[in-house]
Structure 1
Amino acid sequence: MVRIDALPAFQDNYIWLLQAPASRHLAVVDPGEAAPVLAWLEANPGWQLTDILITHHHADHIGGVETLRQATGARVLGPDDERIPAVDLRLRDGERIDVLGCTFRVLEVPGHTRSHIAYFHDAAQPWLFCGDTLFAAGCGRLFEGTPSQMHQSLRRLAELPEATLVYCTHEYTLSNLRFAQAVEPDNPAIARRLAEVSAWRAAGRSSLPSNLALERDTNPFLRTGETSIKEKMARRSGRASIDPDQVFAELRGWKDNF
């Protein structure tokens, strides 16, 4: 059994901490800074950090990698991108890796960056570590990819099993749901989720992980095929009709300035 906990970092990042009690081995996902992980190791003697998983090259996801690697000897896994230093195993789409006795499939999901990857563990309880591609009720900004690339990446993730737990790396859920409600003001699932997450955040509770069933019901970026969304985005674009990638592009542009 592997336990997954969140280590807060910076203002709204999470470093995901995977723990295998039987071996007392650890893995972390996207350590933007080393201090939270080193503090955890100091407070829990006898544990060994064996693996560091990276989804993309942004500093708030890799800033702690080199320090952790030097301090622990952990193996670093990440996308095939020269901007990520100290990677021991550079990963490609479809490859399978073993971490803490769990098999993960690598999914290339470009859009936020050109080389972004996600890690999917297909089991009775599936897990998805998706970095900044899919957020709870939202998605990442397009820094290097095109709207079409990001839309296809999200569609790929949306096809995973609905029970999949979604471990993204930012606490953006509340602001994302406010946008989702602006897009679909008559969607009762969004209203329920907004009330729930508002209460959680007021109590200091994380909104993550999410799951794909919930995302399909409440995340506008996974709902570009809904008639009401297509019609609203067509009106915003000034066209009679637009294709699915254009629907996504209009949504992402609206969110960028929301």
Structure 2
Amino acid sequence: MPGPAASTALEVLRVPVLADNYVWLARWAPGRCAVVDPAVAGPVLERAADEGLRITHILNTHWHPDHVGGNLEIKAHTGCTIIGPAREAARIPGIDRAVDDGDRVALGDHVADVLFVGAHTAGHIAFHFAGARVLFCGDTLFAMGCGRLFEGTAEDMFRALAQLKALPPETRVYCAHEYTLSNARFALTVEPGNAALAARFEAVQGARGRGEATVPFTLAEEHLTNPFVRARDAAELGERRRAKDHFR
């Protein structure tokens, strides 16, 4: 019998876990979903059950434990297929399919282009569902921020962000952490005269005060307010990243 047809939209559900992680459930057809970067298993399995969803896939962007920690338990419960970065395959628990830049991942009729964005980790990837205008970018791009350079260089991050900022501005970005308020505070030290940034800071401060999430966001917002996306070259990005590493 044929599998379920894809729904008209890729619906993304947020599962907050740990201190500030977001795991994403991407509902790609009625009763079917993929999990993106499961830090832990329990809350993810519970949310999927509450929503009446069967987990068919796990999409991992990189190897860090707070992105793959739930892989094996979720796979044991669901028999799902785990897809992750080829350059980090040995560090992705339970991986079934290793993918790299230019590969494609299909969830029914929804197809993601795999983008290599190594910088935060050496083999980091992102999943861009162009038809749905959705980007799962792990720890590469944050609202008004970017990932720490644990295994890559400023040049690597500059190239990675150049790839992402070239995507359509209406693309909704689903990163893996709620770092927005701290990022906004730092961004204001870099561009204190940026009116768009000041307005976004006020909005974010209000949202967090009400306990609301600030993710997803759009690439259009990052073009206007993200000091790393707005860096003119890798040297400037590197200076800003070093300053952010010590920002309190």
| TM norm structure 2 | 0.93
- In percent, how many aligned pairs have the same letter? 44
Question: For 2:93 and 2:55, how far apart are their aligned partners in 1?
Answer: 18
Residue number among 79, 82, 85 corresponding to 1:79 in the alignment: 85
Is 2:225 the partner of 1:218? yes
Is 2:61 the partner of 1:55? yes
The aligned length equals 237
Question: For 1:127 and 1:42, how far apart are their aligned partners in 2?
Answer: 24
Contact 1:16-1:30 at 8 Å conserved across structures: yes
Matches of residues 128-167 of structure 1 in structure 2 within 5 Å?
Answer: 128-167=135-174
C-alpha deviation, 1:21, in angstroms: 4.9
| TM norm structure 1 | 0.90
Question: For 1:140 and 1:175, how far apart are their aligned partners in 2?
Answer: 13
Structure of higher CA gyration radius? 1
Is 2:229 the partner of 1:247? no
Q: Deviations over 1:167-201 (max 9, x none)?
A: 00000001001001010000000000000011111
The residue number in structure 1 matching 2:197 is 190
| SS of residue matched to 2:178 | coil
Residue number among 6, 15, 23 corresponding to 2:14 in the alignment: 6
More displaced, 150-159 or 53-62?
150-159
Matches of residues 17-32 of structure 1 in structure 2 within 5 Å?
Answer: 17-22=25-30, 24-32=31-39
Residue number among 71, 75, 89 corresponding to 1:69 in the alignment: 75
C-alpha deviation, 1:136, in angstroms: 0.6
The residue number in structure 1 matching 2:6 is none
Q: What amino acid sits opposite 1:251 in the alignment? A: R
C-alpha deviation, 1:41, in angstroms: 3.1
C-alpha deviation, 1:42, in angstroms: 3.4
C-alpha deviation, 1:85, in angstroms: 2.1
Residue number among 171, 182, 193 corresponding to 2:178 in the alignment: 171
Residue number among 19, 40, 58 corresponding to 1:33 in the alignment: 40
Residue number among 101, 106, 114 corresponding to 1:93 in the alignment: 101
C-alpha deviation, 1:67, in angstroms: 0.3
The residue number in structure 1 matching 2:123 is 115
Contact 2:28-2:107 at 8 Å conserved across structures: no
